[in-house]
Amino acid sequence: MEKKSKIISAIITAVISGVISEIYTTFKPISLLINFLQEPVILKMWGFILIIIALPIFVIIVMYAIAHADPDYFKYTSDNFYDINWHWNWYENSIRNLIALCPKCHYQMTQEVKGYYCDKCGKKIANQYNPSNAEMESIVERMIHQRVRIKEYI
């Protein structure tokens, strides 16, 4: 019985070492990388000092770039509120250049006493509240910020 278990162990060991050898020779890049990492490195003192100085600077630059990257909501620059297509730009965290565009022809709309009007196609969009242009833009800005807060723009 003991002789049988030794034979099984020898077979298993041979199979495992054969598989490892096959993997090592099949994946040449891995074997080349292992050989490269085992080579001694000769580095002049100025090269070592350069690495010591450059590495923290590189880390600081990468951290700065990550910290100052634009938020994903900066891509959110248009939406439809009150049956009007609104377009805007972001500057820092503020909305700039908010404009109302006609949902039919995309021409910039003008505000009238009872809503918005498109000079190009004649489309009229009534507004039951009759806010001034500044009030309407303020309402739309708050709606945009709300969608950003609750991530509804995604």
* Helix (H), strand (E) at residue 113: none
- CA–CA gap between residue 40 and residue 131 (Å, rounded): 76
Domain ranges of the chain: 2-67, 72-149
**154 residues of the chain, pLDDT tens digit each:** 566 777 888 888 888 887 777 776 676 676 677 777 777 878 788 888 888 898 889 888 888 888 877 778 888 999 999 889 999 999 888 999 999 999 999 999 988 878 889 999 988 888 777 777 788 888 899 999 999 989 887 6
pLDDT of residue 38: 78
Q: State the alpha helices, DSSP H only, in the chain.
A: 2-26, 28-38, 45-67, 133-149
pLDDT of residue 85: 94
pLDDT of residue 78: 93
Q: Which residues contact 6 (CB under 8 A, 6 or more apart)?
A: none
Reported pTM: 0.56
